[in-house]
Structure 1
Amino acid sequence: MTPLSASNARVKEARKLSRRSVRTERRLFLADGPKAVEGALEVPARVVEVFATPSAREQYVDLLADVDVTLVDDRALASLSDAVTPAGVVAVCRQLDVPLAEVLGGDLVAICADVRDPGNAGTVVRCADAAGADGVVFAGDAVDPSNPKTVRASVGSLFHVPFAIERDPAAAVRAAQEAGFVVLAADGGGEVDLFEADALLARRTAWLFGNEAWGLPDELAALADHRVRIPIHGRAESLNLATAAAVCLYASARTRR
């Protein structure tokens, strides 16, 4: 079979999924790279099509052995990837978001309010997965979880951790509280020291994280049950979002286990 070129109609239609409006309309997105494709293929029904270059099919033979692969040339594959050096394999997948109530069925969740950076969002999902969290909520004016950079930054974890999208961050907080969670706002000026919060962390916990640049608005942080600070022992002003999320989620994981 001759690999499809960048001008092929199927490739051009898939390329449109680089736009958020098209992803939202079609309920489809692109998973770029072997880790993302591996995560997607764990549930084959959520994969619509897999594109790969001939060399990538040989390189990832174990991953693609039982997959009906559409071969494309290097230029076509590059048009489907926003990576500087494409790995050679991209999957078209069905959207993964679930209702908020489903995410709130567990014991440990992260609520990301107005998180705009795709890399940070994907890293938070990866941290949530590693810490054994039960879900993530993207609230407010947050990045699209199916943004290619978010998918890639999650290194497959987006396919492991249930996530919901809620336009109103305050509604997400209230829903968590009504579901029996204690909501803890990660706040550098919080009244509770994370390292002295084991009694709180032993409860069903929803961590509330704010925007990378300006953190949590006061009115949103005020809705939380407690504001929790990560102690800074050196001279650093603060921790970035992804690092703070990792510390908080692992503190909860340690207490729960």
Structure 2
Amino acid sequence: MLENPRAARVKTVARLASKNTRSETGAFLLEGPQAVGEALAWRPELLVELFATPTALERYPDVAEAARNADIEIEYVSEPVLDAMADTVTPQGFVAVCRQFPTSIRDIFGGSPQLVAVLEEVRDPGNLGTIIRAADAAGADAVVLSGRAVDLYNPKVVRATTGSLFHLPVAVGADLGDVLGRARAAGLQTLAADVKGDDLRALSVDGSLRRPTAWIFGNEARGLEDGDLAKVDGVVAVPNYGKAESMNLATAASVCLYQSAFAQRG
């Protein structure tokens, strides 16, 4: 059992909370039984190291069984060691080191997608992770990060996806103009979510949302630039029936993606 929280190996794992270290190593940090369980179920080949406390393995025997089935060795660590490795205050007994696995936009749009979420310069880790989770739940084929977006493998992003990161392809570092061109070439309409757009309900009624669609969502503070809005096929607003000043980006994205999902499956 690894018991010294100041050991070099522990510090090496903990440094993955830093973007520079993630970029240098091509690895990222995974925490908690839910995320580790999803990685074991869907992409076990990505796990480089898996650490757990004896208590956690007793509490989550399904995770231990999944590791055995995937032939992944679990290294026992003490609670202080796990706390030193983790980015969270309460990592729930599991920490893993995983290999990064971004997908190219060529592969995404070469696969005849029906629903894609494109996030232009989305900076908030919680928003990004939640939108990936919502895209997964809505049955989207992929997520694309364009512009200067938050790092996909930021620990807060990874946690907010609650494992959905392992369910659908995500491309990073794309240029929005290139993404729009590839989407159209693949037969997708491009719709931008923006408060200045047409009411989302109209597209739901006229059947437009049944078409393959790439939804474009902009930065939390600025939205999309006017020049970018001029490049898409349509600009759509989620109606606000109450007194809220605005809608959270992740919430608006969830509504748009689900409206497309409902229409495409209708």
Cα deviation for residue 163 of structure 1 reads: 0.3
Rounded Cα–Cα distance in structure 2 between residues aligned with 1:165 and 1:86: 27
RMSD over aligned Cα atoms: 1.4
Alignment of 1:95 onto 2:100: yes
- The answer for the alignment partner of 1:197 in structure 2 is 203
1:166 to 164, 170, 173: 173
The amino acid across from 1:166 in the alignment is G
Q: Could you tell me how far 1:161 is from its partner in structure 2?
A: 1.4
- Which of 79, 83, 86 aligns to 2:84? It is 79
**What whole-Å deviation, never above 9, does each CA across 1:74-115 have from its counterpart, x for those lacking one?**
222112222232211011111121111222221100000111
The counterpart of 2:190, out of the listed 183, 194, 201, is: 183
Cα–Cα, structure 1 residues 248 and 78, in superposed 2: closer, same or farther, change >3 Å?
Answer: same
Distance verdict in 2 for CA 1:51–1:239, change over 3 Å: same
CA deviations 1:10-62 (Å, max 9, x no partner) are 22221221111221222111111111101111222111110111211211122
Aligned letter for 2:55? Answer: S
- Answering whether residue 241 of structure 2 is matched by residue 233 of structure 1, we say yes
SS of residue matched to 2:5 = coil
| Alignment-mate amino acid for residue 98 of structure 2 | C
Partner of 2:135: 128
1:35 matched to 2:34: yes
Using the size of structure 1 for normalisation, the TM-score is 0.95
Question: Structure 2 regions of 5+ residues with no counterpart?
Answer: none
Give the match for residue 253 of structure 2.
245
Whether the 8 Å contact between 2:144 and 2:174 is mirrored in structure 1 is no
Contact 1:141-1:167 at 8 Å conserved across structures: no
Deviation at 1:4, TM superposition (A): 3.5
How far apart in 2 are the matches of 1:79 and 1:169?
A: 39
CA distance in 1, matches of 2:5, 2:161: 27
Query: What is the aligned residue count?
Result: 255
State the distance in 2 between where 1:163 and 1:96 align. Answer: 8
Letter of the 2:45 partner, please give it.
A
Secondary structure of the corresponding residue to residue 188 of structure 1: strand
Please give the per-residue CA displacement for 1:156-214, whole angstroms capped at 9, x wherever unaligned.
10111110013422222222222221110001111x32111132211110000011111
Counterpart residue number, 2:155? 148
Equivalent-residue separation in structure 2 for 1:7 and 1:236 (angstroms) = 48
What is the CA–CA distance in structure 2 between the aligned matches of 1:25 and 1:168, rounded to whole Å? 23
Q: Structure 2-normalised TM-score?
A: 0.92
**In structure 1, C-alpha distance between the alignment counterparts of 2:179 and 2:3, rounded to whole Å:** 44
Q: 2:59 is matched with which residue? A: 59
Which stretches in structure 1 are left out of the alignment for 5+ residues?
Answer: none
Cα contact 1:47–1:94 (8 A) shared by 2: yes
